[in-house]
């Protein structure tokens, strides 16, 4: 098996793990009533951009090899770095889902009896799930040796994060008031102790 093919297989396994973690929460979310939301066209676009960059475009590349002209030689160290980043991303992704539990939503929504979660990864950063998307995007760039399919995940993450984080924090401030502003004072956004 070539080094490039190994990277593609690791990426595919990562995406399957991602979906296995996410699926039960999507099902459960359908049963929990939404009491308030900040859905918008921009948020839908940002979510679609993240899905496109982190899943659709790389999946198309892995299945078809297109655009082959943008390929570059794969390196085993890069596959190792990418696999490690993906594994860390999946661990954080699972922890965030377990912590959020019935409060989880794919978009900006407040659920019936929504609780402010400040434990687990949320004790250090306010957006650990987006941190896991950033790590996935970085992992993808190392795993897929293609100048278009590789970096697409980081771009998808950036669109989602910069379109959403401010709005999400404003929504949480409106709902939880001083509890959320206190929480903001003691946490960073996506990188512990830094940002």
Residues engaged in binding ligand SAM (CB under 6 A): 96, 100, 103-106, 108-110, 116-117, 122, 127-130, 168, 172
Compute the least distance from the CB of residue 116 to ligand SAM, in Å: 5
Spatial distance between the Cα atoms of 167 and 148, rounded to a whole number of angstroms: 29
Which of 74, 125, 186 shows the shortest CA–CA distance to 134? Answer: 125
Residue nearest to ligand SAM (CB): 129
User: From the CB of 128, what's the least distance to ligand SAM, in Å?
Assistant: 5
| Least distance from ligand SAM to the Cβ atom of residue 99, Å | 8
Instruction: CB nearer to ligand SAM: give 62 or 127.
Output: 127
Q: How far apart are CA 186 and CA 195, in angstroms?
A: 12
* Cβ-based nearer residue to ligand SAM, 110 or 136: 110
- Smallest CA-to-CA distance from 53 within 141, 176, 171 is with 141
| Minimum distance of ligand SAM from residue 105's CB (angstroms) | 4
- Which of these, 44, 62, 50, lies nearest to 156 by C-alpha position? 50
Nearer to ligand SAM, 86 or 180 (CB): 180
Q: Is residue 171 within 8 Å of residue 108, measured between CB atoms?
A: yes
Give me the least distance between CB of 3 and ligand SAM, in Å please: 33
13 vs 116 by CB, closer to ligand SAM: 116
Q: Which helix (H) or strand (E) holds 178?
A: helix 178-185
H/E stretch holding 28:
helix 3-29
Distance CA 129, CA 13 (A): 19
Given the complex with ligand SAM, which of 12 and 117 has the nearer CB atom? 117
């Amino acid at each position: 098996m070539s080094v490039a093919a190994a990277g593609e297989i690791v990426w595919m396994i990562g995406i399957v793990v991602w979906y296995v973690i996410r699926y039960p929460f999507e099902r459960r979310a359908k049963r929990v009533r939404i009491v308030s939301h900040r859905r918008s066209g921009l948020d839908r676009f940002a979510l679609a951009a993240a899905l496109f960059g982190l899943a659709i475009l790389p999946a198309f590349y892995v299945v078809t090899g297109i655009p082959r002209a943008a390929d570059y030689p794969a390196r085993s160290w890069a596959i190792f770095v990418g696999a490690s980043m993906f594994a860390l991303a999946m661990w954080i992704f699972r922890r965030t889902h377990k912590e959020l539990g019935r409060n989880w939503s794919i978009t900006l929504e407040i659920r019936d009896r929504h609780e402010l979660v400040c434990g687990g990864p949320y004790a250090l950063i306010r957006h650990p799930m987006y941190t896991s998307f950033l790590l996935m995007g970085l992992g993808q760039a190392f795993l897929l040796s293609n100048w278009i399919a590789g970096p697409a995940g980081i771009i998808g993450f950036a669109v989602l994060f910069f379109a959403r984080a401010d709005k999400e924090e404003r929504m949480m401030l409106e709902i939880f008031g001083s509890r959320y502003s206190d929480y903001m004072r003691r946490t960073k956004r996506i990188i512990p102790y830094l940002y």
